[in-house]
Homo-oligomer: A and B are copies of this chain.
Amino acid sequence: MAVGTRERLVEAAATSFMRQGYAGSGLKQITVESRAPFGSLYHFFPGGKVELAAEALRWAGAGYAQLVAAVLDASPDVVTAVGDAFAAAAHTLEATGYADACPIATVALEVASTNEPLREVTAEIFESWLDGLTARFAGEGIAPERARELAVLFVAALEGGFLLSRAARRVEPMEALGRTVAEAVQAALPAHA
């Protein structure tokens, strides 16, 4: 078995979907990259490409949520933490040649009007991200509705930053967003000096 054929398939699928999108990723290529026999794919995922994609999205979405949470928890000051998160995203972009960004966004835009089951999966992932962030901001004494607005701003800006920075192959947009979003969080803090 060795590290699990199923896990290798999910990982390779997540990477392929992140970089080439859903329609642009071939199942053959995914099996080759995960060194899995083609037949195993349909053994583990009888639902085919859609089921594999759903699993890959959920796996990558949970992993990314953990990553962001870790960065945010690294700093006691929430304003600094928000800035750090955008800086970390910018650094990852540069380090991977602008290939590794959000593992969900590309697929989410592709399937939003063409594949209802996958659209629902992406919606659940984004909602779980927003819930986590809303709780994080609310924990700083920010009112729930305001905390939710900031969570939406955080995720939307991060995703927009990935889009602009990947297209331009420059981290400047992501860095600028880090400053602006951090300021917005600062302004929403109850006892901001």
Contacts and interface: CB of A to CB of B under 8 A. Distances in A.
Q: How many protomers of this protein does the assembly include?
A: 2
A50 interface: no
Contacts of A168: 123, 126-127
Interface in A16-64: 19-24
A180 B149 contact: yes
A114 B173 contact: no
Contacts of A126: 163-164, 167-168
A5 interface: no
Contacts of A148: 176
Interface in A101-130: 101, 105-106, 108-110, 112-114, 119, 122-123, 126-127, 130
A19 B122 CA distance: 16
A119 B184 CA distance: 31
Contact of A113 (B98, B150, B161, B180): B98
